[in-house]
A and B are shown apart, each in its own frame.
Chain A
Amino acid sequence: MSVIANNAAVKNAQAFEPLIVAFCCNWCSYAGADLAGTSRLNYPANIKIIRVPCSCRVNANFVLRAFQRGADGVIIAGCHPGDCHYMTGNYYTRRRFSLLKNLLAYVGIEEARFKVDWISASEGNKFADVMNGVLEKVHKLGPNRKLRDSRWRR
């Protein structure tokens, strides 16, 4: 590959501003995101958070819709196993989305674009780390083309 082409690729990668949708449960991860804020931690503005009461409220449809509408990555964050505010909700999340992960792999969406993680209300640091980690990987992968609805303009 020529140097010029390589430079162009770098430029493209810089111009690419990924969009990541994060579903956060109200009791742990949303509070963890608040803590990241009050601790003035830094993560890129490409991550946008949607509040849900529990991670088990997240329907696989929501994830697919986000990819359809042009999201480059989706994160679901809930309480640590055993700490769910609703006792068992995050266990359902874990099962449901390990299935969805297989489906996403089957339709050709790279594994790194979708992540389910457990972030407690006291883990502001972890929140920022997880967000930065996913963003970094998505940045390398480039824009998501699979599943995208061509009629939708971002």
Chain B
Amino acid sequence: MQRVGVFICWCGTNISSTVNIDEVVAAVKNMPGVVYSKDYQYMCSEVGQNLVKDAIKEHNLTRVVVAACSPRMHESTFRKAAKAAGLNPYLLEIANIREHCSWVHKDKKAATQKAISLTKAAVAKAILNQPLIPGEVGVEQRALVIGGGIAGIQTALDIADAGYEVDLVEKTPSIGGKMAQLDKTFPTLDCSACILTPKMVDASMHDKINIYSYSEVEEVNGFVGNFEVVIKQKARSIDMEKCTGCGICLAKCPAKTALSEFEEGLSKRAAIYTPFPQAVPNVPVIDRETCTKFRTGKCGVCAKVCPTGAIDYEQKDERLNQKYGAIIVTTGYDLINLDSFGEYQYADHPDVITGLEFERLVNAAGPTAGKLVRPSDKKKPKKVVFIQCVGSRDKSERGKSYCSKICCMYTAKHAMLLRDKYPDCEAYVFYIDVRTAGKGFEEFQRRAVENYGVNYIKGMVGKIFPTGDKLKVNGVDALSGEVLEIDADMVVLASATQAKPGASDVGRMLSISTDRDNFFTEAHPKLRPVETHCAGIYLAGACQGPKDIPETVAQASAAAAKAIGILSKSKLVNNPCVSQVDESVCSGCLACTKMCPYEAITEKMVEQKVHGKIRRRRVAEVNAALCQGCGGCTVTCRPGAIDLKGFSNKQILAEVDAICQ
């Protein structure tokens, strides 16, 4: 017979105001197996925990039930207390009488009866609990960072500096991400490339960081500490060992017809290209769809001019299998497609551009060498209109309901840069609200208004009419009610940010969840902002939600610290609530092996004595290191040979019976 101790928490008045604690204590005393019961204001406090520990020792308790808040809150706290008192921590059960009882019910009598019933169920389950000993698994001391933007670079550097190997996988030919495309950064106006490129070089020179550029993660298996990942290295058509990055091939390539992705389509690039001169690694890629050699078989100029013979037209995609202890997802964001915003003429008029295109136009290394001119006629603009919230805070089908967070600040920056370059050029900003929450942000935006004379107009633009070489912008000043018509030379749209189109696929591959806007969801919005629900996988940067650079970098370092926490352990403790097979009952049908999502169940041959003869028989076997404890196999099993430790059939049925009493 088990000796059960029941501890009932008041949680201040959180529980005691709707549940009559005395009644529960009295009822508990009559439950079978209960030899001790105690109530206290705050069971989770040190005093409360000591009550549990002392009672275990004094009354020789073999099972403990704590009726308190949700097990998701304090199960581990009380398990530790039980362990400290010499009891196996898995012999403790929690009855959730706060979140599932006192907080959702107002009727004291009904709530008290329910609290008794839930406690009874927990007692019934606890009596059937078995001591469990968690196994240990080794940790692969290597991290994978998916995405080579500023978030990925920062995370990789921090983990590598702590002394662990890091693989940084980037889809495009160079690391750097969106930040590499920016001209200046708010609110300090320092040049983006000047602060980013040294970090890119640091990452490439670090002996603990391996950069896999032009590569993608194709498959992820395993679990925290032991992820098995397949990385696809796309065929670059260049031997990275031989290439010196001299750039002769880029200059000589005759197929300069493709739109440059890095320049946001504002200029052309060759079929063999590096995205930008400071690219890391500084090794070009052949775009096989544009290259004449791949399209027609004739050309091969690059191979002829290459001084080191690095061009390899025969190169194939390669797949690399690697093991990792932790994964950090830093896949970043994209801008929304503006095709459905016809009123702004983005698709039809070259002088209507996005904020990111503006960055390239004012950048000294950009397509116009930093001369801000209209894309259509290369003339200097006299009047520029900036439109904020294009698609952001827009609940309609074509927009995004959230605030993209960065646009207010970069629009202020753009207007400032414009007025700085051409003091005679007028700048107008249409806004819904100006949101400048951030250190030095408000001062920055005020500077744009007060020192640079940027005209801020509260209101939205209805439509843009291209008339002659002008863009007639029709809007309303919402404060005065005045209808405005501005003859602009150029319009800059602050288009909404969105999750990468492939984010949900990445999420599925990693089995982490995405929210309704396809941003990855963190484990807890306040207290676990960089973790995911999948242990060992962390998030950083705009893939989790719109973010500016300082926030991204802070989150990247936070994610790195979390990953280092895993990598620094030589062993991780397993969840002991895993399936086990009763070999004497198993019929060897192996239905469970097909159901298991982790391939944790395999077949095994056992020898059995039947009527004096030794017979070999096939049975199922669970690999405790792979089993995650979902318990799906227990239902699949026809003879009922598999059971889940900690949530066994008997335990759950005992709970059902207790509740139905």
Residues of A near any B CB (own CB < 8 A): 19, 21, 26-27, 30-31, 33-34, 36-38, 40-46, 48-54, 56-62, 65-66, 69-71, 82-83, 85-89, 92, 96, 128, 152-154
Contact = CB atoms under 8 A, between A and B. Distances in A.
A154 B100 contact: no
A44 B110 contact: yes
A23 B252 CA distance: 68
B480 interface: no
A97 to B, nearest CB: 10
Interface in B568-603: 577, 595, 597
B114 A87 contact: no
B652 A40 contact: no
Contacts of A48: 114, 117-118, 121, 659
Contacts of B121: 48, 50
A56 B511 CA distance: 17
A53 B99 contact: no
Given A27-B533, A56-B635, A50 B656 contact: yes
B630 A37 contact: no
B649 interface: yes
A89 B99 contact: no
30 contacts: A19-B660, A21-B660, A26-B72, A30-B72, A34-B72, A34-B96, A34-B99, A36-B104, A37-B98, A37-B99, A37-B104, A40-B104, A42-B104, A42-B105, A45-B110, A45-B111, A48-B114, A48-B117, A53-B577, A53-B629, A54-B631, A61-B653, A65-B657, A66-B659, A69-B656, A85-B630, A88-B597, A92-B595, A92-B636, A154-B660
A57 B595 CA distance: 12
Given A34-B99, A50-B652, 11 more contacts: A34-B96, A37-B99, A37-B104, A43-B105, A45-B107, A48-B118, A61-B653, A65-B657, A87-B511, A87-B597, A128-B104
B103 interface: yes
B531 interface: no
Interface string B529-540: 000011000000
A33 B110 CA distance: 18
B513 interface: yes
A119 to B, nearest CB: 14
Interface in B36-78: 70-72
Contacts of B370: none
B627 to A, nearest CB: 10
Interface string B112-153: 011001100100000000000000000000000000000000
Nearest to A33: B100
A86 B632 contact: yes
Interface string B74-115: 000000000000000000000010111101111100110110
Contacts of B597: 86-89
A83 B110 CA distance: 34
B632 A57 contact: yes
A153 B657 CA distance: 11
Contact of B99 (A27, A38, A42, A45): A38
Contact of B104 (A30, A43, A82, A85): A43
Contact of A69 (B71, B629, B635, B657): B657
A152 B597 CA distance: 39
A52 B647 contact: yes
Contacts of A30: 70, 72
A128 B70 CA distance: 17
Q: Is the interface of B mostly helix, strand, loop or mixed?
A: helix
A69 B660 contact: yes
Given A44-B110, A154-B661, A86 B104 contact: no
A59 B647 contact: no
A33 B513 CA distance: 19
Contacts, number: 134
A53 B104 contact: no
Given A45-B114, A152-B660, A37 B103 contact: yes
Given A37-B103, A45-B110, A48-B114, A57 B630 contact: yes
Contact of A57 (B101, B647, B657): B647
Contacts of A153: 661
Contacts of A71: 656, 659-660
- 9 tightest A-B contacts by CB? A37-B99, A57-B631, A69-B660, A86-B630, A56-B632, A45-B110, A37-B103, A54-B630, A34-B99
B523 to A, nearest CB: 10
A92 B205 CA distance: 49
B634 interface: yes
Contacts of A85: 511, 533-534, 630
A134 to B, nearest CB: 15
Nearest to A92: B632
A84 B541 CA distance: 25
Contacts of B107: 45
B105 A44 contact: yes
B106 A50 contact: no
B659 A21 contact: yes
B630 A53 contact: yes
Contacts of B118: 48
Contacts of A65: 653, 656-657
A42 B106 CA distance: 8
Interface string B643-661: 0100101001101110111
A34 B632 contact: no
Given A38-B99, A43-B104, A45-B114, A53 B660 contact: no
Nearest to B71: A51
Given A43-B104, A50-B655, A50-B659, A59 B110 contact: no
B638 to A, nearest CB: 12
A17 to B, nearest CB: 8
Contacts of A19: 659-660
B290 interface: no
B649 A61 contact: yes
A86 B657 CA distance: 28
Contacts of B629: 53
B628 interface: yes
Given A52-B631, A57-B631, A83-B513, A21 B656 contact: yes
A57 B121 CA distance: 18
A153 to B, nearest CB: 8
A16 B379 CA distance: 82
A34 B70 contact: yes
